[in-house]
Structure 1
């Protein structure tokens, strides 16, 4: 593993002369180091290093390392009780008469040259930093890291959220959920991690499933802080997007029906399908039974998703155990259920695994025809199957877009189950900002 300085981010290479030193094991000494290095917010320093540039030369015991009698390099070892240089106060500069007199030797061209070099150095540092501004003109990497098509769409979503974004609320979320006992100023230092950058961090976690420890290295913060940022943004974004009504009126659906579906199934209100996410096996036997999916042959969480005929997400159900059948998910009743949103005469398009209960006779289910004991379908039924498949492909593509958020792709550990419903809803909602599923002709 490459050693990296926690203060200046220098890395160990064969060509440099820096040595890298662990924090002392004594807690009081650790706190003294953190205070002097202006890194008080760090919690876990067990694997952190500080490079030799942050110590006075008198702090080292230097000895040579040789192989076959040939000197290879000087190894630096810290003296017992050595302390790093104080970075919490500005360095005091003592001007000598010589330095004052030579200041006049610097002309405008010299200063311009220095500033040009400084600008190049800043650009190099900027290019090696994971920062949203770095990708302002790089839509390919914006798509890779966040799932948004462009920087403009990333900013549009961020601005929409910022209307309701109150960092005080986010800080309270963190304190309440994780019982964090930090000073508010320390929170603002890391969480305000500039709001836009912390949102960028959250989207990377969602889209790429990047490990929290790795994100901590990228953004120069502790893994604990990364975890708190992710939980805070998860709860905040869910509270915003779940309050937005996705269900369009019948008139809106009718006005935007694609030509082919309008010709064949003009009363279709929604196209539905189910999706499942693998979870870690619960320890409770009843929970194991409730989450066992015979289709996936593992423990899963399962949900129902609906889109309008023109391809826009219009319904997102809560997650249920993987043992719940497609039919049960469709026929659930109560506030927020799909059945409660439907109106008499509406049609639902699905695959063969769905069926409506008798009490929902005011609705019609459109699905591919069954063989009904015959060896093959009649020509008219074959045509009907193909037409339905052409329309249903859009909801399957929608499911694929949800799974593009890789955080939902792996096995969800039990410690994160309480966030899974939020992540699923957010990822499904964000597919709305992708390219249209159905092209307008």
Structure 2
């Protein structure tokens, strides 16, 4: 006997909202683009048994059945203790893949000197807690290629630990590609990266007192003296990995949570490394920002400055966006009418060739350029006969000594056109002053400064800006 088919409407939304929702879920498994309205009907063939007010459509003959795939059987292979000290790799009968013996890999790692060129292939590696540079010359001319470094550097491992989780990327992975080294670290090539890191090692990079709060971190420690080992638990990362992590943070602006995933450590470990290394780099980068003599500037004077041979420094202020502080006073101090946002401001001075020679302290965005010049130890650095080149908004003529000049574009009234002499003077100064704009763009290539600085790292902002500006002095000159 044939079954009589009929169509039924959906349950009422007000009386039975849950039942209607179940109907829609079941029907959308068959028709994803289903649109339910007052005229939508469901055939009685989709219901199991006689239809009632609580029935749910469950029968869909046209819906293809999912193919059930069975998992392949897994076999556990017994590990024989007599083979733990051998170098032979066992062969899995099911996969035909050679699986190296783990204990053999560990023993090999303990016998391998932790040279920077060796990367362990068995998911284990040695991490040096104290290293000694035996043969290395700091002359940049002898460190032009990686091959020279590989032959001149020998690192002896004093204390070795095992880390089972390797970082996803290390300096060894990119050291042969100069473009990658510059992308991740900002250094021109691996030679410069290694030269700077070797200097940090000589200043105690392998015996840092990690920041753990003011009460526990202040003061020098006994293990920081020569000949004493660092007590406590071993480092999770090598010193060069920590330095690489900090440079990735500055160059790429990666968040600490992201760096924790890349280097396979906890986020709190990344925070301690950042607080410690940023302050350590700040102390060791001060030698990169020097005040050159006038003779040194004249010997390296670019062609664009032939019309301005007395120029000692080109200055300008730049601002960096920050997150909005919660304090109303902090909001007022950091508000910039020029950027229409909360910012930090810093005064930067460069030589005519583009080398950074002066970096002021960090100021709030509402501070004027005049105030920074007057209160940030810039004027005492000037000597008799010096000339400062600046933009036309840099109104500090009355603050300068009588024997110090200020070269800036002439102020022109908006009611009349520039004269012939004013036009050429403005053009000459603007074409030369562009060097400081180029330098500020180079500094902001470190993406930590190109984005909004987090309030949680406001205590490190001045150090990070100084470090990024100092590292640009290791790049080729901007003008020749």
* TM superposition score normalised by structure 1: 0.68
What SS is found at the alignment partner of 1:70?
A: coil
Match of 2:421 in 1: 380
1:94–1:265 distance in 2 versus 1, CA, 3 Å: closer
Match of 2:316 in 1: 273
Q: How does 1:204-353 map to 2 (within 5 A)?
A: 204-242=248-286, 246-261=290-305, 263-332=306-375, 337-353=377-393
In structure 1, distance between residues paired with 2:180 and 2:301: 34
Q: Do the aligned partners of 2:212 and 2:272 also contact (CA within 8 Å) in 1?
A: no
Match of 1:34 in 2: none
What SS is found at the alignment partner of 1:303?
A: strand
Q: Do the aligned partners of 2:312 and 2:387 also contact (CA within 8 Å) in 1?
A: yes
In structure 2, distance between residues paired with 1:175 and 1:124: 34
Q: How does 1:2-21 map to 2 (within 5 A)?
A: none
2:137 is the alignment partner of 1:139: no
1:357–1:380 distance in 2 versus 1, CA, 3 Å: closer
2:68 is the alignment partner of 1:70: yes
1:214–1:179 distance in 2 versus 1, CA, 3 Å: farther
What SS is found at the alignment partner of 1:354?
A: coil
Match of 1:174 in 2: 211
1:75–1:368 distance in 2 versus 1, CA, 3 Å: farther
Match of 1:21 in 2: none
2:452 is the alignment partner of 1:425: no
- Structure 2 regions of 5+ residues with no counterpart? 1-64, 92-97, 106-118, 126-165, 218-229
2:235 to 186, 189, 192: 189
Q: Do the aligned partners of 1:330 and 1:354 also contact (CA within 8 Å) in 2?
A: no
In structure 2, distance between residues paired with 1:341 and 1:396: 22
The count of aligned residue pairs is 334
Q: CA deviation at 1:165?
A: 2.4
Q: Do the aligned partners of 2:210 and 2:272 also contact (CA within 8 Å) in 1?
A: no
Match of 1:164 in 2: 203
1:92–1:69 distance in 2 versus 1, CA, 3 Å: closer
2:478 to 421, 434, 437: 437
1:354–1:310 distance in 2 versus 1, CA, 3 Å: same
What SS is found at the alignment partner of 2:234?
A: helix
In structure 2, distance between residues paired with 1:349 and 1:69: 77
2:438 to 392, 397, 415: 397
Match of 1:200 in 2: 244
1:222–1:179 distance in 2 versus 1, CA, 3 Å: farther
Q: CA deviation at 1:253?
A: 1.9
Please give the per-residue CA displacement for 1:213-235, whole angstroms capped at 9, x wherever unaligned: 22112111111111111111101
* Higher Rg: 2
Q: CA deviation at 1:415?
A: 1.4
In structure 2, distance between residues paired with 1:312 and 1:429: 9
Please give the per-residue CA displacement for 1:380-402, whole angstroms capped at 9, x wherever unaligned: 22111111111111110100011
Q: How does 1:148-159 map to 2 (within 5 A)?
A: 148-159=187-198
Q: Do the aligned partners of 1:327 and 1:353 also contact (CA within 8 Å) in 2?
A: no
- Normalized per residue, the structure richer in helix is 1
Q: CA deviation at 1:241?
A: 1.5
Please give the per-residue CA displacement for 1:383-431, whole angstroms capped at 9, x wherever unaligned: 1111111111111010001111111122222211000000000000000
Please give the per-residue CA displacement for 1:73-108, whole angstroms capped at 9, x wherever unaligned: 5999xxxxxxxxxxxxxx984349xx99xx9xx9xx
Q: CA deviation at 1:162?
A: 2.0
Q: Do the aligned partners of 1:202 and 1:233 also contact (CA within 8 Å) in 2?
A: yes
Q: CA deviation at 1:239?
A: 1.2
1:360 to 400, 404, 408: 400
1:255–1:68 distance in 2 versus 1, CA, 3 Å: closer
Q: CA deviation at 1:210?
A: 1.3
What SS is found at the alignment partner of 1:210?
A: coil
Please give the per-residue CA displacement for 1:173-198, whole angstroms capped at 9, x wherever unaligned: 32345958xxx6665322xx111111
In structure 2, distance between residues paired with 1:260 and 1:412: 35
Match of 2:34 in 1: none
